[in-house]
Amino acid sequence: CEVLTAALRAVDVEARWLGDVERSTRVEYCLTEQSPYAILAGDRKICGLAVRRYRTSWLVQGSMLVRPLLPVFLEVMPSPVGDEFRHRAIALEQALGHPICDDQLIQVIMDVWNHWRTGSSQWAVRSLDLSSSNDERRTANCVSHHAV
């Protein structure tokens, strides 16, 4: 959670980890519910993780909504879930206000992970130039990632 929160901050998303939320029931729809391993952008969930501890290992699974869901997916969601999703979840690109390439995001996550894994006291990651002056270049580089 700390690594993904730091990675989101590295791309200029004000992210925070909800490490102190307790649940007595199972999470049914990850991006619509608060959970101990939720990461928020503002007051909306951008990432959710699940952790399972085994005797000698851990299993960590997570999801981050990078792009907004296509309207067709929202239309087929059961009404209470779709409504909750619209109000409680946010895609990374919505939080940023512009597209981000998958390879850029992966690189930031890996940079932060490597700093964390090696015990660096600072998670100084290689800064991405995501300024508006690079919109054309970034869009050109991301075209293949956004094709539907």
pLDDT digit string (tens) for the chain, length 148 residues: 788 888 999 899 999 887 766 666 666 666 667 777 889 999 899 988 878 889 999 888 888 989 998 889 888 888 888 888 888 889 999 999 999 999 989 999 899 888 888 876 555 444 444 444 444 444 444 543 444 3
Burial letters for 23-35: b for 16+ Cβ neighbours within 10 Å, e otherwise?
A: eeeebebbbbbeb
Residues 6+ apart with CB under 8 A from 144: none
Whole-number pLDDT of residue 30:
67
Tokens coding 123: 């998670």
CA dist list (Å): 143 to 63, 65, 95, 97, 128: 23, 18, 20, 17, 18
Contact, 46 vs 95, CB < 8 A? Answer: yes
Model-level pTM greater than 0.85? no
Rg (CA), the chain: 16
Nearest residue to 16 (alpha-carbon basis) of 40, 36, 37, 35:
40
